[in-house]
Amino acid sequence: MNWKNSQRLLLVAAVVLGCTSCGNGAGTAQRDQFLAARQLVVDGKYQEATAPLEAFITQHPGNKFCSRAGLFLGKAYLAQDDMAQAKKWFQWTVDNHAQTLEGHKCKYKLAMCAVLEEQYDKASDQFATLAEKPDGPLAAEATAWQRWLKKQAAKPEAGNE
């Protein structure tokens, strides 16, 4: 390889490597902001995660990561035993991002919240909606929960035996 070909190769490599971030500017900054907030949830820093996740949603309402931010915000509140805020953010995600995987997961999370609150009829109805579509990502789990709820409903209450 001669010197001229080496220079061309280096120039092509510089252009290719330099353009891996071309056009990402604000998108990369927003992605990084979301990922940093999400990582707090992953690390179990639930209380610390809520403000950055809410800020992300407020500052970037049209961002593709908003559905994930809503899901993780609900999870952060759920882990803090703040059921009202958890349900608020799961419902927000369903209402604003129903067709996303996160919207679907939030429907499942809302049904789980109903179980935790011992609202078994409500939970059963919510799981039934998810189980209706066997190709849904949580249909099998929803079906299993429906079965469990039916068994619980069939058991005699303690003291009434």
Q: Where are the alpha helices (DSSP H) in 43-138?
A: 46-59, 66-79, 83-96, 101-116, 120-131
pLDDT tens for residues 49-60? 999 999 999 999
Q: How far apart are CA 12 and CA 160, in angstroms?
A: 80
Report which of residues 4 and 139 the model is more confident about.
Answer: 139
pLDDT digits (tens, 9 = 90+) for 65-119: 999 999 999 999 999 999 999 999 999 999 999 999 999 999 999 999 999 999 9
How far, in Å, CA of 116 to CA of 86, rounded? Answer: 12
Q: Quick one: which of 120, 116, 119 has its CA closest to 149? A: 120
Question: Is the pTM above the cut of 0.75?
Answer: yes
